[in-house]
Amino acid sequence: MKPNIKNIAVLTSGGDAPGMNACIRAVVRTGIYNGINMFGVTQGYQGLINDSIIPMGARSVSNIIHLGGTILKTARCLEFKTEEGMEIAYKNLKSRDIDGLIVIGGDGTFTGARNFSKKYNDIKVIGIPGTIDNDLYGSDFTLGYDTAINTVIEAIDKIRDTADSHDRLFFIEVMGRDSGCIALRSAIASGAEAVLLPERFTSIDELVTQLALGASTKKSSSIVIVSEGHKAGGAYDIAKQVKERFNHYDTKVTILGHLQRGGSPSSFDRILGSRLGFAAVNELIKGNTREMVGLRGNEIKTVKIEDALNNHNFKLEGDLLEMTKVLSI
């Protein structure tokens, strides 16, 4: 039996995340398998406005499952926030009779999806959580987070080698915007001495006390993970403030930056991307709209996009924060 939905477009928007290509592949092939015409939109919402919408076949997603980034490219598009921008996007989709849209991205992407589908409800929209920040409610893990944290840990391990050889104190800044998930969990996984998070303010005095304790018990090197959203500033500011009060170690700073977003996706992200892409098309076939597909427990479930936006996934795991102190004595 032919599904009600005839034409589906897929786009990636916001920051790219490893696993997006595996997800695009799953969306395109699940659609084609079900007799649906599939389209790819390049550069996210900007591509909808620029009418950059291309047909996609099963072979157009060959040999991409292992690639980082997104073959569809991505962008952060201000124009789509305006009524005029949304109207142009709508007309471009309608000119191809597109009745289903799948958006892969983070909360900015979902805000666009919600506003668009409320205004034009004849195009059904399903969201897939794709961001390294792991901050979307309704999915235990977002696409790209697993690869990113493994990239971070690999980098910290390397820094530890040189920190220890020189008896140095390193401040390593990691991404996450206003979510401390990468910071907190990479601190545990790398054995860092301290972590500074956006969700909980740590004063410079508190940090210095912790580092001084380590020095007094003959720690030869120390690593402090600084999440980019910390209120006392970035890693350079914090390193400077610490150095003014505690000069025991030679101090260095590393900003991991965008290398955290690249690289071949882990098996976890390839499988997650495949499952979410497959599920998103099936939600459209069922006639659903304004839902996000996510991983909860080991099952793919849906949540309203509105709920995903109104909640924050990453609730500070107090036990992990406590552990960073206990395990780094």
CA angle 172, 173, 177 (to 5 degrees): 160
List b or e across 177-192, with b for residues whose CB sees 16 or more CB atoms inside 10 angstroms.
bebbbbbbbbbbebeb
The residues that bridge with 213 in the sheet, in sequence order, are: none
According to DSSP, the β-strands at 53-56 and 222-227 are unpaired
Among 99, 133, 146, 269, the one annotated catalytic: 133
Site for ligand F6P in 2-21 (CB under 6 A): 15
What distance in Å separates the CA atoms of residue 229 and residue 180, rounded to the nearest whole number? 8
Q: How many CB atoms lie within 10 A of CB 101?
A: 26
Q: Which is nearer to ligand F6P, 18 or 100 (CB)?
A: 18
What distance in Å separates the CA atoms of residue 275 and residue 282, rounded to the nearest whole number? 11
Q: Is 29 helix (H, G, I), strand (E, B) or coil?
A: helix
Minimum CB–partner distance for residue 177 and ligand F6P (Å): 4
Minimum CB–partner distance for residue 98 and ligand F6P (Å): 27
Q: Which is nearer to ligand F6P, 131 or 210 (CB)?
A: 131
Q: Supply the DSSP symbol for 130.
A: B
Residue type, 120: Y
Site for ligand F6P in 238-277 (CB under 6 A): 261
Minimum CB–partner distance for residue 131 and ligand F6P (Å): 5
Report the residue from 31, 100, 176, 265 that binds ligand F6P according to the rule CB under 6 A.
Answer: 176
Minimum CB–partner distance for residue 180 and ligand F6P (Å): 11
Minimum CB–partner distance for residue 179 and ligand F6P (Å): 8
Q: Which stretch binds ligand F6P (CB under 6 A): 29-37, 55-63, 113-121, 175-183?
A: 175-183
Q: Which is nearer to ligand F6P, 106 or 294 (CB)?
A: 106
List b or e across 74-92, with b for residues whose CB sees 16 or more CB atoms inside 10 angstroms.
bbebeebeeeebbebbbeb
Total residues contacting ligand F6P by CB under 6 A comes to 10
> Considering the rule CB under 6 A, would residue 301 count as an interface residue with ligand F6P?
no
Q: How many CA atoms lie within 13 A of 40 on its CB side?
A: 23
Site for ligand F6P in 91-150 (CB under 6 A): 106, 131-133
Question: What x-and-dash track marks residues 187-226 binding ligand F6P by CB under 6 A?
Answer: ----------------------------------------
Minimum CB–partner distance for residue 178 and ligand F6P (Å): 8
Residue type, 17: A
Give catalytic status of residue 164 as yes or no: no
Burial class (CB in 10 A: 0-12, 13-18, 19+), 240: middle
Report the residue from 96, 166, 168, 177 that binds ligand F6P according to the rule CB under 6 A.
Answer: 177
What is the CA 13 to chain-centroid distance, rounded? 11
Active site residues: 133
What residue ranges bind ligand F6P (CB under 6 A)?
A: 15, 106, 131-133, 175-177, 228, 261
